[in-house]
Amino acid sequence: MDDFFLLSLSTLDSTLRLSTPLILCAMAGIFSERSGIIDIGLEGKLLAGAFAAAAMAAYSGSAMLGLIAAIITSISMALLHGFACITHKGNQVVSGLAINILASGLTVTFGIAWFHQGGQTPNLSGDARFSPITFPGAEMIREIPFFGPIYTELLSGHNLLVYVAFLAVPLTWWVLYKTRFGLRLRAVGENPQAVDTAGISVTFLRYRAVICAGILCGIAGAYLSTAHNAAFGREMSAGQGYIALAAMIFGKWRPVPGLLACLLFGFLNALAFRLEGVSVPGIGQIPVQLMQSLPYVLTVILLAGFIGKAIAPKAIGRPYVKER
Amino acid sequence: MTVEQIATSRSDVAGGQTAPPTTSKTPAIELKSISKSFGPVKANQNVDLKVLPGTIHGIIGENGAGKSTLMSILYGFYEADSGDIFINGKKQDIRSSKDAISAGIGMVHQHFMLVETFTVLENVMLGAEGGSLLNKSSISARDELLRLSQEYSLAVDPDALIGELPVGLQQRVEILKALYRGAEILILDEPTGVLTPQETEQLFKILDILRSRGVSIILITHKLQEIMAITDRVSVMRAGTMVSERETKDTSKNELAELMVGRKVLLEVTKADATPQETLLEAKEISYRDEDGILRLDNVSLSLRAGEIVGIAGVSGNGQTELLAALSGICPLHQGSITIGDREITPQTPSSAKEIREFGVAHVPEDRHRMGMVTAFDAKEVAIMGYHDDSSYNGTFLMNTKAVENHCRQLMQDYDVRPEDPNLKSANFSGGNQQKLVLAREMDRAPKILLVGQPTRGVDIGAIEFIHKNLIKMRDTGSAILLVSVELEEVLSLSDRIIVMFEGRIVGDVSAKDADACQLGLLMGNAGEEGTGTPSDNAVVTGEVSR
């Protein structure tokens, strides 16, 4: 029983770590899509951010500088997306795909050119990585039954960016529903004409929305390469941007349901790792591949209709053109 | 009370003020020589306009006359190529809606600029929040909104979701939005297009109150009786220019119509009494549920007889669209039966649009762009859609383009479609000419039964006259016509029998001779028989239509 409890705790613990990039990207997607800009480029921004963080951290030895580099890189990609589909009213899906392809190509190219390790960046250690933060008193109350382990094992001991991700959720909610910026952002995703005729610039508003998305994706990228792992590797985002997009839709473009969807996907991933090579009573050993495909299979099933009708922001995907 | 009566009694509402327009006052708005082109199209050419403070100024003109463009310039939505705008005598540089709002201009657009998923309060606040945090600003906004609702008798629940409000109330929110921003000049662009007659009366009462409080109002419309009922002065636009300005009391509908079109127009529809003959189509207790399971047609029974026009009145979205779709075989029946000749169509023996066409039923759909034509096609292709299998248009393998072209040219001549070019892309015709092309296609084969939806939506007065004449002609040659229109005037003037629909049901079936706008309006809003108009009302309103 005690074993099972600890096992569950450590599965939940890795759920938190695996959900972190999903949560950040999903919140990024909410900002962008609530303003009416489809953000299929989450994946590309995540990957580019991861590379920038690792490269900068390897060069400077500072994880913080790496984080800043990741945010700047990701914002630039977001602005590129914005330039294509806000200023020039291009197709948002095509532009997003272009961002993804660009990120996938450029990270490897720069990686080989700078570090000569086949697209990898050097291994990071010490200050070049975000290290776990131990909460005060964590060691002291470890022995207290039930609450002790939860505090020490589950809540304490993550790196800074994990906490940032979880704080990003209430922050996103607050910005969207409690600020003037949020009101306008939600309005522009529903009816940009209403915003325009109210005397607010649709263009500027949407740019600000994609910049918010850029910031969050940058943090997620830095997490991947300088916190969760200790280097950048080719295609290390491995579709997590798309999963985050799915989680965001699953959460109906709202922060808290989006968080829950990310946690679900993170949990499935953690479970897949945990059950690797374990013999389940009555079934036997489950093939690793099957477990690993579970989150993706579930995504398809859930999105195919188990979530009820997901109503997207009304103006999503439509460039704003003053009608003639 | 009818629109006319409001007009006559408005001085009472205004508290004895009759707002006589005196030229000595500084105009609230003065536009000088405004020009605006979109590519080669000159939407406005040297347009001048003066609106006196505290008056309602009507701007009337056909579609494409440049009314909306002019107002969009005034509201900063477009920038004029040249010309000046003076507000209360001061020259203003209006480059964006923001500038217009700060100059005290508010606009109620034809299509409301509201966010449907927001509450009334949120919509009113949007863009004028007064602080970066919502909690604080929404408290003061709520107070201000309630104060305005009271002052101008515009009651509305601040916490209601816009999407759940009827259009009349949504429009009220638009007016409140403008007032909330401190507008002293209010522009209304075709405000009555979506309203029931009762809602229109309500709106005119509101405008009257606003005028009495000193708000200057510009009312854009193409409906002559609205101009006559509520405005103090009226300007007429034609083809991008301001052709004339009149004191409303010194002009008449006939004069205005002539100024709008540039020639004499017959406003009345002249027709002989109908001589209905055998029943051609009979629908018995038909019901239809849409994909969301909502009952759109609820036990509808009606019959169409040869030589008769049956009009369907109702606020749009009350089952008229589905009725046309069911009768023309586009959507299935879930109950009941339709009999055309010997064929009985039931849920068990369904039909198709193609089969129904073969029985001699022609259908002019309500939304010509969605169902009546493919705008990317050439006119000649549009002219045979639905009849494209006809052997005269087809060779062994290929289409006989020559025959198609000739057919189209013939239709264009007969139905006065301009320009007379069968190879022109149909999107490039004006709305009226597109509609004439669709009507020509359906009417040319002398169908036994014609189902026609919104025959004159977005069509100029000149073309309306032509379409109405042709519909009457068809009736007189023994066709049965089912006419669906949201223009009550049109239903009243064309129909021999009028059916009123409300929420998928038939709530009234009257002979056109006995019908009047007020009674129909009440039925359309399902207010039932109580409170129908007095005989004098009838005289005014029906006289209105046929005069």
CA dihedral B381, B383, B386, B389 (to 10 degrees): -60
pTM, two decimals, is 0.79
Query: Using CB atoms, which residue from B113, B116, B122 is nearest to A197?
Result: B113
B505 token code pair: 């049901």
| A199 Cβ under 8 Å from any chain B Cβ | yes
The pLDDT of residue B428 is 81
Interval A173-192 mean pLDDT? 96
Sign (positive or negative) of CA dihedral B254, B257, B259, B261? negative
Interval A148-156 mean pLDDT? 84
| A322 Cβ under 8 Å from any chain B Cβ | yes
Interval B477-500 mean pLDDT? 91
Helix axes B461-476, B431-443, angle to 10 degrees: 10
Closest Cα in chain A, distance from residue B74 (Å): 12
What are the extents of the domains in chain A?
A: 9-306
Query: Using CB atoms, which residue from B96, B128, B133 is nearest to A178?
Result: B133
pLDDT digits (tens, 9 = 90+) for B32-73: 999 998 877 788 999 999 999 999 999 998 777 888 889 999
Instruction: Mark out chain B residues that contact chain A at CB-CB < 8 A.
Output: 38, 75, 77-78, 96-102, 107, 109, 111, 113-118, 122-123, 125-129, 131-135, 137, 177
Check CB contact under 8 Å for B133 and A324. Answer: no
Q: Which of B210, B255, B194 is nearest to B228 (CA)?
A: B255
In this structure, of A299-303, B20-24, B514-518, the range with the lowest mean pLDDT score is B20-24
Q: Give the span between the Cα atoms of A113 and A161, in whole angstroms.
A: 29
Q: What chain B residue is nearest to A194 in terms of C-alpha separation?
A: B113
Domain B1-104+221-265: CATH superfamily is P-loop containing nucleotide triphosphate hydrolases (3.40.50.300)
Cβ-Cβ contacts under 8 Å, A191 against chain B: 113-116
The topology (CATH level 3) of B279-360+446-546 is Rossmann fold (3.40.50)
Q: What chain A residue is nearest to B75 in terms of C-alpha separation?
A: A197
Cβ-Cβ contacts under 8 Å, B170 against chain A: none
- pLDDT grade for A306, boundaries at 50, 70 and 90: low
Q: Give the span between the Cα atoms of B397 and A39, in whole angstroms.
A: 47
What are the extents of the domains in chain B?
A: 1-104+221-265, 279-360+446-546, 374-444
The pLDDT of residue A307 is 63
Average model confidence (pLDDT) across chain A = 91
A284 forms beta bridges with A280
Helix axes A288-301, A240-250, angle to 10 degrees: 40
Q: What chain A residue is nearest to B99 in terms of C-alpha separation?
A: A199
Closest Cα in chain B, distance from residue A199 (Å): 4
Q: Do domains B1-104+221-265 and B279-360+446-546 have the same CATH topology?
A: yes
Interval B418-427 mean pLDDT? 87
Q: Which of B32, B37, B28, B71 is nearest to B49 (CA)?
A: B32
Check CB contact under 8 Å for B129 and A191. Answer: no
**DSSP conformational letter for B446:** -
Give me the residue label for tokens 């009608």. Answer: A323
Interval A112-130 mean pLDDT? 92
Element (H, E) at B8: helix B3-13
- Size of the A and B interface in Cβ pairs below 8 Å: 78
Interval B20-37 mean pLDDT? 80
The pLDDT of residue B2 is 47
Q: What chain B residue is nearest to A312 in terms of C-alpha separation?
A: B117
Closest Cα in chain B, distance from residue A244 (Å): 25
The pLDDT of residue A1 is 52
Check CB contact under 8 Å for A190 and B116. Answer: yes
Average model confidence (pLDDT) across chain B = 86
In this structure, of B278-282, B294-298, B340-344, B530-534, the range with the lowest mean pLDDT score is B530-534
More confident residue, B242 or A295: B242
Task: Report ipTM (2 d.p.).
Answer: 0.90
Q: What chain B residue is nearest to A205 in terms of C-alpha separation?
A: B127
- Give Cα separations from B415 to A203, B27, B307, B362, B493 (angstroms): 46, 45, 21, 17, 21
More confident residue, B53 or B513: B53
Q: Give the span between the Cα atoms of B438 and B272, in whole angstroms.
A: 26
Closest Cα in chain A, distance from residue B52 (Å): 24
Classify domain A9-306 by CATH number.
1.10.3470
- Return the residue in B115, B121, B132, B179 with the most chain A beta carbons within 10 A, the one to mutate for interface testing: B115
A266 three-state secondary structure: helix
Closest Cα in chain B, distance from residue A193 (Å): 6
B32 forms beta bridges with B84
Q: What chain B residue is nearest to A322 in terms of C-alpha separation?
A: B77
Check CB contact under 8 Å for A180 and B133. Answer: yes
Cβ-Cβ contacts under 8 Å, B38 against chain A: 324
Check CB contact under 8 Å for B126 and A184. Answer: yes
Question: Do residues B383 and B440 touch, judged by C-beta distance below 8 A?
Answer: yes
